[in-house]
A = this chain, B = another copy of it.
Amino acid sequence: MRLRGVLFSLASITMDLEDNIFMLAGPVKMHPRVLKAMSSPAINHRSAEFKAINAELRENLKYLFQTTTGQVALISGSGTAGLESVVSSLLHKKDRVLNLVNGKFSERFNDLCKVFAEPTPMNFEWGKAVYPEKVAAELEKGDYRAVTLCHNETSTGVTNPAKEIAALAKKHDCLFILDGITSVAGIEVKPDEWGADAVVMGSQKCIAAPAGLAGVMVSPRAYEELHEEQSCYLSLRAHIDALRDEDDTPWTPAIPLFLAFREALRILKEETIEGRIARTAKLAKASRAAVEAMGLQLFPDKQCASNTLTAIRYPAGFDDGKFRKELRESHRVVVAGGQGSVKGKIFRIGHMGICPISDLLAAYAAVEAAMIKFGHKFERGAAVRAIAKSY
């Protein structure tokens, strides 16, 4: 088979950290235009030229979040910094907040809330979606000011029912805070329509910019309730106001990342957000078909399986470290392992951002070879054929 031949011949070349098929659940492969924008010489972040860059970012952030009524910010920090900017600026120390937890990132979200508010975690089985009926019952009982949800749990490959949870939060007059770090621009997110009060996205996920920035949007209601009692660097009001009123940032921004993010947003607009989401869905369908064709099991329930990454259970007896080392060293394919309680039990293939079909084919060709090498049995070529058929 020609494809695998090419892959195998690569293995003899000296290993290069940057020369691989890069299929993490973020950071993800970046477009050459984004890399080029990032490597610009130093520019003055307090200049008319940079104000024009900020103004473009602001308008394109609104497009990214599909919002016309919301306010937006771009924060120099990771997705966690984006979540903290929302939680520390919107909630008060004594506020009760319901954290819906069904994976590592929603656990972390709960930990973050402990510093700035009074959170109550509501736990759901990892690999299953959050169950709206259970949430509804808790909201009937409790006196919550806010509800948090991780839209796309990359630790388990589950997409949670954000629209339904938003409606429940709204019914109970709670603020709805959505961790959309790995969903915005990969899975439909409609804050204005759903009534989400805050949404956070991460730069190194579905828009395929470098790691290090978080985009944030808040509803008009949430904007009115922002305060600065618990934050300074991550004050969401400071970020929003500077960007809206002055085309500026409150602190020195991570300048090269702003330039790269701008280029990534331009690329997204060229494809359109609907086009990006549809492409991501198509890759996900093909990826799940490949899993099935090899006789492997998805980790999440199929009906809530994420479109931005595929989480796959290892066959019994497989060693995660050895398997991913084989992918990496013999095939130059980089995929993610499991995290937290599913560490060693699953591996995860990201297919968000600008992931091309060629990378998905190459990744599964390598997975096929490694699966067979370590003793899992199926008809060779089944996965890549399934991808081609699905796509």
Say how many copies of this protein the assembly contains: 2
B253 touches A256 (CB 8 A): no
Interface assignment of A254: CB less than 8 Å from any CB of chain B: yes
Instruction: Give Cα A74 to B68, complex, Å.
Output: 37
Q: Given A211-B253, A212-B253, A257-B256, are A233 and B81 also a contact pair (CB < 8 Å)?
A: yes
Q: Given A115-B230, A212-B257, are A252 and B39 also a contact pair (CB < 8 Å)?
A: no
**Which residues in chain A, 9-39, are within 8 Å of chain B measured between CB atoms?**
17-18, 22, 24, 26-30, 35-36, 38-39
A18 touches B43 (CB 8 A): yes
B39 touches A35 (CB 8 A): yes
Interface assignment of A197: CB less than 8 Å from any CB of chain B: no
Interface assignment of A118: CB less than 8 Å from any CB of chain B: no
Interface assignment of A80: CB less than 8 Å from any CB of chain B: yes
Q: Given A78-B251, A79-B252, A80-B232, are A40 and B27 also a contact pair (CB < 8 Å)?
A: no
Report B-chain residues with C-beta under 8 Å of the C-beta of A231.
Answer: 115
Q: What size tier do the contact residues of chain A reach?
A: 35 or more
Please tell me which one of the listed residues B47, B49, B112 contacts residue A232 in the complex, with CB atoms under 8 A apart.
B112
Instruction: Give Cα A41 to B17, complex, Å.
Output: 9
Report B-chain residues with C-beta under 8 Å of the C-beta of A369.
Answer: none
Give the distance to chain B from A69, nearest Cβ to Cβ, in Å: 28
A231 closest partner in B (C-beta):
B115
Report B-chain residues with C-beta under 8 Å of the C-beta of A38.
Answer: 38-39, 256
- Chain A, residues 239-279, CB within 8 Å of chain B (1/0): the string is 00000000000011111110010000000000000000000
A36 closest partner in B (C-beta):
B39
A52 closest partner in B (C-beta):
B17
Report B-chain residues with C-beta under 8 Å of the C-beta of A133.
Answer: none
A212 touches B76 (CB 8 A): yes
Instruction: Give Cα A257 to B256, complex, Å.
Output: 8
Interface assignment of A44: CB less than 8 Å from any CB of chain B: yes
A contacts, CB < 8 Å to B: 17-18, 22, 24, 26-30, 35-36, 38-45, 47, 49, 76-81, 84, 111-112, 115-116, 202, 204, 210-213, 228-234, 251-257, 260, 334
